[in-house]
Chains A and B, each alone.
Chain A
Amino acid sequence: MRKIIEIEKLTIDFELENRILRACDNVSLDIYENEIVAIIGESGSGKSTLASGILNLVRSPGKISSGQVHYIAVDGASTNILQMSPSEENVFRWKEISTVFQAAQNALNPVLKVKDHFIETVLAHESDQTIDMILKKAEEVLRFVRLDKSVLEYYPHQLSGGMKQRVLIAMSLILDPKVILLDEPTTALDVVTQYYILQLLSNIQKELGITLIFLTHDIAVVSQVANRIVVMYAGEVVERGFTKDVLGMPSHPYTKGLVDAIPNLKDDITKRKAIVGSPPDLTQTFTKCKFTERCFVYKEGHCEGIKKKTEQLYPTGLEKYTRCYTWAEAYDAQKKPKERVSNG
Chain B
Amino acid sequence: MNKCPTIVDIRFDEESLNGIERIKELHELEKYGRIWLTIGNLFNIFGGNSLRSTPAGHINEAFKLIPTDTLKTTAKTASKGVASESNQTAYSITQANWEYYFQSYVSLSNLKRKKIEELAYNQALKHQSRPKEYMFWKSIYMGCKYE
Same complex: no
